[in-house]
Chains A and B, each alone.
Chain A
């Protein structure tokens, strides 16, 4: 395989972007870039993680994230096993704790966790000896999504430092937005969060972004990052109607300036948060994001497994 930079500060898990430093992010992106070259070969498989076991533990439905973690592990020659909550003992009321303990009896090297509850991957990390990768926990974090987005941005724009990114939509309920704002702040990009006041969480500025309620504020951005607008939010009166949301915040061709790129984590609600003409335009990086997902997840698996373990950063400040 291509030359990989010597792994620097060790990280045992990937639970939150908040645990990373700039060097960690750059190392993973560079690793992903090296791995991308290998995917252009006729034989796409690398022997790097032969003999290692990667378990995907998914408590939420997922298409692209699960598929890309499975494929990433296989491309690195790891053994993989995917467990979904439906049809497993979780259906029978088994607690996350017991499921994690059961799985750890097989001594997996990595457990990739997606769960509707904040902190579920941290719980699994505490209970098992495996390296844990967070594949999305509640509204908290989706760190591999943020890393793949950075990768796709860097590929498209050639840099991250100084890049201006506007994140548009339902930030309140978005783990993608939280991870991405933190990751952009780490890499020297500038972030503006745009959405209706009821869907922008109070205090989000502390993560390192500015806030606007006016969609016209996206004009200065290099990247327009569109978040999925979930229909179930209507019942909770966060916005009066989807129609008004689309009128005020929908990303239409008229709102996209020449030279801007448009990203979306998927799945898209065409005609709601993003106009199909934008989604299908050359400005859209959506399929680049999916491709980036594979190499970035390969890089993440490589990273957590090949760097020496350290104590997780101490967050709990009692006083």
Chain B
């Protein structure tokens, strides 16, 4: 269930190159939106605009409730709108954790007042995300949970994971998994390799992720349940996902812009905005992620937008929390670093940011067709802009792109028939 604040439905016309890869569209068109619904699609003229189905982000931290100084439902969804998103899924690792129908219900009410962009809320797999007891999945599903995850921490016990897979079958919701074996990642702050060896940073080996990916794929296969693998970072994890998909497993995977663009070399700067969980890995890992994204084995790009207060990141590297923001830079970062140099096609990028994640979570796929609710993003692919600390709608500015110039700008975002961003 996605929720947004009630508001008008807008009427507008967009004209330019329309690229909707999932529908096989790439031509100059004029799209008329009347009262939030696409009312006509006619031949049109080329313009500075490229129009595409708006983006879907399956992995956002809205920090609400508990850390409204870092992000609120309003600021986070405004950031999503500015990033071209028409739907986002928020993580439950808040304070308190979203592990009961009452906490979830309060959030849904808040979203009805504040959410600029339709927002779904994931609920915890385990009570308090402590990994001991299952959350009340039946009640949470009835209250509108979008999926279940303990994101931020792994489900350590294989037994509890198996029960969660079994029990969640009473709902239609899938489990989204943060794969990390804590006895391998313990004390780790950067990928285990030449960079961590040189800097003396506690190593976080690839196996800390991949052994958990393999465990969870094995459990999901034996229980016949779908799973979604979050923020994949290691080539061993990609190999495990490939193997499972070849055996027909209903598994999906996501990758973040920072894992697609950066490698662990960036950590040499000791900039705390290069510290993420999972960590930035090697060039070979990045290549495996890009390849899996091209092939569709990884079908979703997810920002893992993780706002942090400035004072929490203004500390030495190992003391800083993991995570970076991403909603407002995801498209431009990937367009600049993957599409412009010819590593990824524009079509693939647009598909993995929109139809891919929508399908993984069984959300309505943003489509460009007459009669559909309008979920569109208008892009200026030639526009260059510089990422600055004061340029964010997000309340936090812990971006790995501060000071960098990017190509490709979001000009307009239409989400569920409403013009939610207009540059």
Contacts and interface: CB of A to CB of B under 8 A. Distances in A.
B318 A138 contact: yes
Nearest to A140: B200
Contacts of B317: 117-119
Which of A115, A117, A123, A316 has the largest number of chain B CB atoms within 10 A? A316
A315 B119 CA distance: 39
A178 B200 contact: yes
B266 A316 contact: yes
Interface string A177-195: 0100010000000000000
B197 A118 contact: no
A95 B266 contact: no
Which of B203, B311, B314, B404 has the largest number of chain A CB atoms within 10 A? B314
Interface in A193-241: 201-207
A317 B265 contact: yes
Given A118-B270, A316-B266, A316-B269, A203 B200 contact: no
Contacts of A202: 192-193, 197, 203, 205
B67 interface: no
Which of A119, A173, A174 has the largest number of chain B CB atoms within 10 A? A119
B261 A120 contact: no
A175 interface: yes
Contacts of B270: 118-119, 122
B291 interface: no
A318 interface: yes
B199 interface: yes
A103 interface: no
Q: Interface residue tally of chain B, by bracket?
A: 20 to 34
A118 B199 contact: yes
Given A119-B270, A202-B192, A207 B315 contact: no
Interface in A247-298: none
Nearest to B404: A318
Given A117-B317, A118-B317, A140 B266 contact: no
A316 B271 contact: yes
A123 B194 contact: no
Nearest to B265: A317
Contacts of B268: 315-317
Nearest to B193: A203
B262 interface: yes
B407 to A, nearest CB: 13
Contacts of B195: 203
B198 A139 contact: no
A18 B318 CA distance: 19
A157 to B, nearest CB: 26
Contacts of A310: none
Contact of B200 (A123, A138, A315): A138
B337 interface: yes
Given A317-B265, A318-B262, A318-B266, A123 B316 contact: yes
Interface in B256-276: 261-262, 265-266, 268-271, 274
Interface string A106-149: 00000000010111101100000000000001111100000000
A97 interface: yes
B319 interface: yes
B316 A117 contact: yes
A25 B16 CA distance: 60
Which of A18, A123, A178, A182 has the largest number of chain B CB atoms within 10 A? A123
A318 to B, nearest CB: 6
Nearest to A141: B200
B315 A175 contact: no
Contact of A96 (B193, B265, B315): B315
B413 interface: no
Interface string A82-98: 00000000000001110
Contact of B201 (A118, A123, A206, A315): A118
A133 B159 CA distance: 51
Contact of B198 (A95, A137, A206, A318): A206
A303 B297 CA distance: 55
A203 B197 contact: yes
A319 interface: yes
Contact of B315 (A123, A139, A315, A318): A123
B77 interface: no
B366 to A, nearest CB: 29
A319 B201 contact: no
Given A118-B270, A318-B266, A319-B261, A204 B316 contact: no
Given A118-B270, A316-B269, A318-B266, A204 B315 contact: no
User: Which 6 pairs of residues, A with B, have the shortest CB-CB distance?
Assistant: A139-B200, A316-B269, A117-B316, A206-B194, A119-B270, A203-B194
14 contacts: A18-B198, A95-B311, A117-B317, A117-B318, A117-B319, A119-B317, A175-B200, A178-B199, A182-B198, A201-B196, A201-B203, A207-B197, A318-B266, A318-B400
